[in-house]
Amino acid sequence: MQQLSESVVIRSLKRFRDRFFPNRNEVVGDGDMTPETEESQPGLLDTLPVDLQFLIMNFLSPVDLCRLGATCRYWRAMVRDPVLWRYFLLRDMPHWPSIDHLTMPRLELLNMPLVNEEESLSDTEEAEEKRTELKCDYMSEYLKGCPSYRQQWLPSGAAYEVVTSFFQSLVRSSEPRYAMFGPGMEQLDVSIVTRLMYAPDVLPVSGTPHRQINGIGSGISYMFNNQHRFNILTLYSTNRADRERARLHQQSVSNKLFTFEGEDDSGYPICSPAPQVQQVCQVVDGFIYVANAEPGKIGGGMTEVAQIQAVLSSARDSKSRPLLVLSCVSREEAISTTSLQNGAHRNGARNRIPSVDMAKILGLPQLANPWMVQDTVAESLSGLLDGISWLLRCSGVKL
């Protein structure tokens, strides 16, 4: 997916304004003013050159852009230009910290060809272009996936739900259990599992039961918001010595959690969980997959897809079990002052695989399960609580 240049967007906006608002820059004198002309009289912002209008829109949030579109017929049309929102989508999508099964943009729309701005359109071509714009509603795709816009429209709970949650808190219920696995647990320089055990300010440990599955994993209970207990059962691919040796030498290890069964007709690998892993899948309420989001570190994407599908298919009521993907890096990326001045942090590539790309690499849009990808940093555990909150909600916990 290549970035759109600003000149392409400006040409599209100019073409749009010249076609539908050809007299927009003409100011009517006071003596010729009628109720109709007064209503359609352009304001100062309307008469600015299109490139300046585009510059202003660049600094507005999605919510502010929608409010601008509600001011008059001209801006309602301008802010719905599909090329404008395709530009915003390609520019901002790599920086979204999370994405899920409800907000994932349809990436195939970004492969649709753009209308040639240099050609004049006949009526037939205009009708065809209109149908394409309706099919490629980049504005809806952007607003559906943008985290800041999602927060603006989250439904607020009714008053009776608060009372219900209070009474439910008085009733002791079994804590949700989740199985955690994935290469990000073993390949990163900072162990997210170790950080979890020694971060009482983030997730206090409320219990460490002596529970093991053939020596591969153990379960630890945590307390979310000092109120909701949940259990994480960690599943490692092999023993600690082999994992550490493989991490230091950047080598792959023999994964004891899965058995390679061959390939399907399309050449994709087929995996089956080990018997002890199948037992875990039958009793847990969901899964946490720790992916290695450091650039160049994700390897064997199809193998990871096969392992995720194997685990989900082994679960009881498999399609209802949520999958949280922690797209993890070891440490926060350092942003230099020069990079900020050059706009590299916003317009350039981040030092991690974007959440949308991670979802695509792991084949999550093809899953029937609810899923979420959350950017996470192992050292600071930033982003972790947002992911855990989503996971608990999917398990029916009232937060």
pLDDT tens, position by position, 185-239: 988 989 999 999 899 889 998 877 655 544 445 588 999 998 899 999 999 887 7
Q: In 3-state terms, what secondary structure has residue 114?
A: coil
Which pLDDT does position 93 carry in this prediction?
A: 92
pLDDT the model gives residue 157? 46
pLDDT-flagged residues of the chain (< 50): 27-33, 38, 116-129, 131-132, 156-172, 213-216, 335-345, 347
What is the C-alpha to C-alpha distance for residues 6 and 11, in angstroms, rounded to an integer?
9
Q: At what angle do helices 275-283 and 301-314 cross, to 10 degrees?
A: 60
Phi, psi values for residue 373, rounded to 5° = -110, 125
pLDDT at res. 339: 39
The pLDDT assigned to 19 comes to 77
**Whole-number pLDDT of residue 322:** 96
Give the C-alpha separation, 273 to 279, whole Å: 9
Exposure string over 289-310, b if 16+ CB within 10 A, otherwise e: bbbbbbeebbeeeebbbbbbbb
Give the integer Cα–Cα distance in Å for 241 and 144. Answer: 45
* Radius of gyration (C-alpha) of the chain in whole angstroms: 26
Q: Which amino acid is at 101?
A: H
241 contact partners, CB below 8 Å, separation of at least 6: none
Beta bridge partners of 373: 99, 325
pLDDT of residue 287: 96
The predicted pLDDT at position 120 comes to 39
Give residue-wise pLDDT tens across range 305-337. 999 999 999 988 778 899 999 999 999 875 444
Question: Does the pTM of the predicted model rise above 0.85?
Answer: no
CA distance 279 to 274: 9
Cα–Cα distance list, 26 to 22, 31, 37, 103, 105 (Å): 9, 15, 11, 42, 40
Task: Quote the CA–CA distance of 243 and 47 in Å, as a whole number.
Answer: 64
* Element (DSSP H or E) covering residue 144: helix 138-145
SS3 content of the chain, % helix, strand, coil (to 5): 45, 15, 40
Facing residues of 287 across strands? 179, 323
